[in-house]
Structure 1
Amino acid sequence: MIFTTTPDVPGREVKECLGVVVGNVVQSKHVGRDLMAALKGLVGGEIKGYTEMLAEARDIAIERMVTEAKGRGADAIVNIRFTTSNIMANASEILAYGTAVKLK
């Protein structure tokens, strides 16, 4: 499956638009990560536990979006975008969305 943040696939022509596809995941913080984040907040720097958590959540959201596109018979997903939001104090959502298309 081809997926891209651009509105088209270079060298290919879109034959049919199959609609918006989405994938999301809500990830909660781990108590251990919160403790390490609090300590890191005192000295500064990257909070690697959160970086890893968000990267994993992004990959899951992409996988779910691709699964939906494959279910519609898509060859590609164009114009992929990502958004995040806080669901509650200890949980965040990552949403991946794009347009599923058939290519010539």
Structure 2
Amino acid sequence: MAESPETHPGPANDAVRLTARVSGVVQGVGFRYWTARKADELLLTGTVRNRYDGSVELVAEGSTAHVGRFLDWLNSPRAPGRVENVESGVSPATGEFDEFRIVG
């Protein structure tokens, strides 16, 4: 029986890092809380924080598939608030995080 990627993330060389800036109505609406919960659900590590300009900045690391699902969620109507734009980039994971945390 094949193991589910939900319980066993891909190998370390499959890990990627998503860096994103989310703008719109994303502060004061539970965006960071629900983003952290979604990241936990997808076994991602990283951080999410409010920026002074009203946007939210996040860094998430995990398997390519889970990071892709996370980015899809950020761009969907299921994300809290009203996301108007997601600027993002993907690079190799650094492994610096051991959990997903709300910071700042």
Fold-level match, TM-score > 0.5? no
Q: Looking at both structures, which has the greater relative contact order when contacts are Cα pairs under 8 Å and sequence separation is at least 6? A: 1
Pick the structure with greater CA Rg. Answer: 1
TM-score scaled to structure 2, two decimals?
0.31
